[in-house]
Structure 1
């Protein structure tokens, strides 16, 4: 069901008025930004935060969900769920980026179990992706393709029925490569299914399926190496490289079995180095292949830094939260720890630090809903500024968290909790 709430004609003008003359705004159309790498390239960004607080441009109510907002062509998109019984409903929400005014809402029924041992039933987790005037979303079981301007449904797929995936949440965020929408949605136990699925982004028809492993929470990426485009997928059994056009497997690095909540980090590439959590691989420049640089052990605890956060590979060093909440710097050549600090967030299970670079600076967004501006260097952690964005609302093991990373666009930061979506200016 589509609910339109206002005209779209003023969106472009409102966005233009939001930006200083002569400056270009970047979109944040998918998980971890335009290139899926946690890099924000806009200039004219604050070098420190105001002493009192950031300037909040708007805030608007949203419901339960762990998906991040995305920003494209003057619009902000986010997904949530209304768990009011008996008919629970998921929603795709579209707002004007400049003002936060609702543009349209697409509502559809979605079955959610009563609260039980599964902590992660509180709304959609995959972050939407915007491409070519369309927005693609994944809820508990439904994959939707909507017109980004008006919210009209173009096509949909029931993932649990079409692909025999386990009736559970899909965690990984979709990506687009060429004409294909690639999703990672499969079983976490029982008979394994081919969990990497390529779909024609315009028609919704299946192009190929591959990787008969148990699925995980990690969102795949596509990298260029050895003259090939390589789709990198981290499952519970292995790291796999595939041809994104055909699903052909190029190479696999087997790992000791882990559960889906341990394989969370998004793969990170720098040059010929590929970082998967706490596992560093070297990509062969001559053919699609990879070798392990560190660690030599296949112990899951040694090959994983955090079960909530993606590390930053920058020059000769790796920066990351650990599962315990400590923030560390590692030597990228050896994997040895260079320094550790407890200053970033609490040392508790479920702690997270989402890293986004902007020039020489780094933005760190914590599970406490705080945004930190810092310098990350081999000689230590230097915090410049810290400010709260949203109140933690997601309950886990007796504590409240914010786990959805923010979006950065139009010299602003967009952050959501289970209660609200906010936009704050980061413009100088």
Structure 2
């Protein structure tokens, strides 16, 4: 709702210009991977040069590496984005400033260690664990960073550093860049906007609502002059000033970690987001007014819009991958695909097909009918949360390593499956098995053990940061690892 008379006037002025909503957004990202899931939030870049179909025999060296960057529980899982020749990344750092806490009394319990606990006992355990983690956090100082690198050389152009706060998991959304503005949701429900060229903070706005240690992983959506933030509910902020234009219904827009998306139809623009109970909620981006909701069984995967179709990927086979036909007054289920599932992976959508990852598989689904074209197996231990991307006729999935596959409905065709060593050389596993002599039958038991230990330390424990997603720009792939940001040139040479 509007906060005061000036906001109300702004809402009225914005409402009179519905046809320009998302127009700046669309024009600014025609070629750049400037936001979560790329140019149209479909995970796909159609305009790509010819890409390599296999790795060089000696492996592929990185174009550049960033140097050490904290990640995962220490630095977050944010994915890189690229805009106007600059790569951006949102990270965190925690530093010990007090006495180091001792062993945990209430550590996280894997499902197999909860056996014998009643629901009430486990709920009480989790309550104690949360309290303990919050107490332990007082021994640390928390900071967050937005980092900018030259996309071709890796030169660090600027770093914006700000004080942060403890959250149960580090805030890990992607920056969103439109024009010279960069938008990010910081820890503690703080909406921020930076100058994308200099890193100077332009404004920051604490979002209303209670905060203890909650974390929100959704990325910011720019809908014309309104920046849409998902932090327990949706908020619309003026992109120029950070002033709150509207606050979404706290119940109906109560979201997951999924990022909202924009839909344009007959010159009108709409914001679509996963809200309470996994339902899809459709809002007017100028006023935040809810226009309709529909049951969708959404989870943490972000909604995807392609034309007048909406795709929602649930977190169970029963919920499945669901496609809706969109109308200004509602949405109707077109088809439901129930052969894969994942906790948070968002599919790739081209003009004609959907490529969806789940349960150590990737499947190709016809966008019009929902019929399965093929499934392929991923030779990975337990891939989850990470999202595939596509560029031209090649799809990529990064988890234990990087798998490249053909984007075609004809059949699953793996182009290469790469692993990385400590120097970030990307090569087939056969290359590393030969390097460490893992298939050498002349090794005795002790020598074989040493070879496997060396392989695990230098290759097996390396690779992409799990739960993070690569970015693509004009033939270059930008990939976050456990302690670095890496750039690879995947362009095919004549």
Shorter-normalised TM range: 0.7 to 0.9
Q: Is the 8 A contact 2:145 2:160 kept in 1?
A: yes
Partner of 2:440: none
What is the correspondence of 1:221-232 to structure 2 with a 5 Å cutoff? 221-232=261-272
Which of 399, 413, 417 is equivalent to 2:477? 413
Give, in angstroms, the shift of residue 352 of structure 1.
Answer: 3.6
Distance apart, 1:205 and its partner CA: 0.3
Query: 8 Å contact 1:69–1:76 — kept in the other structure?
Result: yes
Superposition deviation, residue 353 in structure 1: 4.3
* Alpha-carbon distance, 1:226 to partner: 4.9
Are the structure 2 counterparts of residues 74 and 181 from structure 1 closer, same or farther at C-alpha, using a change threshold of 3 Å?
same
Give the equivalent residue in structure 2 for 1:31. 36
Per-residue CA distance 1:199-246 (angstroms, 9 max, x = gap): 011101001111424320111110113542121101242111111111
| Kept in 2: contact 1:325–1:351 (CA 8 A) | no
| Number of aligned residues | 365
Q: 1:158 to 1:304 in 2, by over 3 A?
A: farther
Distance in 2, Cα, partners of 1:376 & 1:400: 21
| Alignment pair present for 1:128 and 2:179 | no
Whether the aligned pair in 1 keeps the contact of 2:395 and 2:407 (CA below 8 Å) is no
1:199 aligns with 2:242: no
Residue in structure 1 matched with residue 288 of structure 2 by the alignment = 247
Question: Which residue in the other structure is 1:233 paired with?
Answer: 273
1:48 is aligned to 2:53: yes
Mark the CA change 1:63 to 1:241 in structure 2 (over 3 Å): closer, same or farther: same
Q: After TM superposition, give the deviation of residue 50 of structure 1 in Å.
A: 3.2
Give the unaligned 5+ runs of structure 2: 1-29, 97-139, 314-320, 425-456, 458-462
Change beyond 3 A, Cα 1:337–1:165: farther
Distance 1:303 1:196 in 2: 32
Max radius of gyration: which structure? 2
Structure with higher strand content: 1
Structure with greater helix share of residues: 2
Aligned-residue CA RMSD in angstroms?
Answer: 2.9
Counterpart among 119, 128, 146 of residue 92 in structure 1: 146
Match of 1:63 in 2: 70
Change (3 A) 1:316 1:135: closer
Q: Which has the higher contact order (CA 8 A, sep 6+)?
A: 2
Offset at residue 163 of structure 1 (A) = 3.6
Task: Structure 1 unaligned segments of length 5 or more: list them.
Answer: 1-24, 187-194, 257-261, 297-301, 394-398
Q: 1:355 aligns with which of 389, 395, 400?
A: 389
* Cα distance change, pair 317–97 in 1 and its aligned pair in 2 (3 A): closer
Does residue 368 of structure 1 match 2:408?
no
Cα distance in 2, alignment partners of residues 316 and 408 from structure 1: 21
* Closer, same or farther: CA 80–314 of 1 in aligned 2, 3 Å: closer
1:400–1:425 Cα change, 3 Å = closer
Deviation at 1:107, TM superposition (A): 1.4
